[in-house]
Chain A
């Protein structure tokens, strides 16, 4: 039920409805639940609504943190 899929905003029309590309399928999505969505943004789409903008910068930072964690685990796994 709580399935939400990422899609890219193609255009924003009247009534706060956006056209969103979901892996090649275009759907109308309501933007009433989230602020500040712009064309080209990625949003998470759930039952016809955008739940949240996907934050590119945070995705990148999370990635870096994971790399740091890998480095740390390699250190821990080495015999002392």
Chain B
């Protein structure tokens, strides 16, 4: 496939590694923000082929992982009232306060997996007698698509469609991590697909206010190796700036059209992050003008209420914030597995724990 195969060439990877080695004398702790990058790093084994001085810290960029447990509880409550709950496949195993959507589905709840937000709109169109709730999560990448679903539903005059949302933003959580005491991040690999929407300018505060360089990268192994090389070159040359490695897809201004859709449907709000807690103005809520399409406003007060997140599940919070590695958790692979996740890092294939578990065969190998 064009734009895939040429970024997986092993000989090119060797050339990149040879260019990296002479620059990697001093340690560099790189946080890859996006869960897609975490997954790619473990899948391709980059953490094992790079010099030991390069360490990846896994960031909080997995929207499934950071969705508060109460959203799952609310979706289950709505399903029990007879709503059809449509959601992304990754959401089914996420533990709520008492059970997951998959468990609720086994007990008779009507839960349907959709590939995209418009599939949920289609379910509503085909089931005029039923309320359809789309449990929608995402960062800036997915939020415009979910917003589009609301616009489509309005165009179709659908009265039985609403969105139960948990939409989160990258810049505020990075500020939160950097402001926390004891943060040990030297540099960032920026999220490639979030940046196709927001552009590269949103990260200027990282070099300007915090002195941390950023390279926005694609998701193939060569993309990530090149991003590491670019960060090392910035250090070697005494520079500190936002660079785009993923130039084939990221423009400085992002996608103005998608940003306009975001602005039309959503507004900034304080947001709860599972494993982290509440971060001011770090999420997107549905604007009051779209209240009929907002499940939280439509079905209140029948829903379990939003509560401040408890960050105390094992060391999940510390793993999600890059402060601890998955293998430092006593439950990792021993009780807590992708089949039976205890907490957020293990629920999605992009969670740091789940990615490590999957690609290192067993806990012993991962712990080695």
- A28-62: CB near B (< 8 Å → 1, else 0) gives 00101111000000101011110110111011011
Q: Contact check, B1 vs A6: say whether CB atoms are below 8 A apart.
A: yes
Q: Contact check, B145 vs A49: say whether CB atoms are below 8 A apart.
A: yes
Q: Contact check, A35 vs B116: say whether CB atoms are below 8 A apart.
A: no
Q: How far is the CB of B122 from chain A (nearest CB, A)?
A: 10
Q: Does B107 contact A (CB under 8 A)?
A: no
Contacts of B118 in A (CB 8 A): 30, 48
- How many angstroms between the C-alpha atoms of A61 and B247 in the bound complex? 9
- How many angstroms between the C-alpha atoms of A58 and B34 in the bound complex? 23
- How many angstroms between the C-alpha atoms of A26 and B250 in the bound complex? 24
Which B residue sits closest to A15, measured CB to CB? B152
A-B contact pairs, 18 of them (CB 8 A): A2-B139, A2-B192, A3-B193, A4-B141, A4-B196, A6-B2, A33-B255, A42-B3, A44-B249, A46-B193, A47-B145, A48-B116, A49-B116, A51-B141, A52-B250, A54-B248, A66-B226, A70-B15
Q: How far is the CB of A30 from chain B (nearest CB, A)?
A: 6
Contacts of A1 in B (CB 8 A): 35-36, 62-64, 88, 90, 137-139, 141-142, 348, 350
Q: How far is the CB of B357 from chain A (nearest CB, A)?
A: 18
Known contacts A4-B141, A33-B261: does B196 contact A44 (CB below 8 Å)? yes
Q: Contact check, A59 vs B248: say whether CB atoms are below 8 A apart.
A: yes
Q: Contact check, A48 vs B145: say whether CB atoms are below 8 A apart.
A: yes
Q: Contact check, A55 vs B248: say whether CB atoms are below 8 A apart.
A: yes
Contacts of A3 in B (CB 8 A): 36, 193, 219
Which A residue sits closest to B144, measured CB to CB? A33
Q: How far is the CB of A58 from chain B (nearest CB, A)?
A: 4
- How many angstroms between the C-alpha atoms of A6 and B61 in the bound complex? 21
Number of B interface residues at 8 Å Cβ cutoff, please give it: 55
Q: Does B229 contact A (CB under 8 A)?
A: yes
Contacts of B148 in A (CB 8 A): 30, 32-33, 49
Q: Contact check, B3 vs A59: say whether CB atoms are below 8 A apart.
A: yes
Residues of A within 8 A of B (CB): 1-6, 8, 23, 30, 32-35, 42, 44, 46-49, 51-52, 54-56, 58-59, 61-62, 66, 69-70, 73, 76-77
Known contacts A2-B35, A52-B255: does B145 contact A46 (CB below 8 Å)? yes
Q: Does B233 contact A (CB under 8 A)?
A: yes
- How many angstroms between the C-alpha atoms of A69 and B227 in the bound complex? 12
Contacts of B34 in A (CB 8 A): 2
Q: Contact check, B191 vs A32: say whether CB atoms are below 8 A apart.
A: no
Contacts of B61 in A (CB 8 A): 2
Contacts of B257 in A (CB 8 A): 32-35
Q: Does B163 contact A (CB under 8 A)?
A: no
Contacts of A52 in B (CB 8 A): 196-197, 249-251, 255
Q: Contact check, A48 vs B350: say whether CB atoms are below 8 A apart.
A: no
Q: How far is the CB of B231 from chain A (nearest CB, A)?
A: 13
Q: How far is the CB of B298 from chain A (nearest CB, A)?
A: 23
Q: Does B228 contact A (CB under 8 A)?
A: no
- B34-70: CB near A (< 8 Å → 1, else 0) gives 1110000000000000000000000001111000000
- How many angstroms between the C-alpha atoms of A36 and B90 in the bound complex? 32
Q: Contact check, A51 vs B22: say whether CB atoms are below 8 A apart.
A: no
Contact partner of B255 among A6, A34, A42, A66, CB < 8 A?
Answer: A34
Contacts of A8 in B (CB 8 A): 2
Task: With A2-B194, A30-B118 given, name 9 new contacts (CB 8 A).
Answer: A1-B350, A3-B193, A6-B2, A33-B257, A34-B258, A46-B145, A47-B117, A54-B248, A77-B18
Q: Does B368 contact A (CB under 8 A)?
A: no
Q: Contact check, A51 vs B255: say whether CB atoms are below 8 A apart.
A: yes
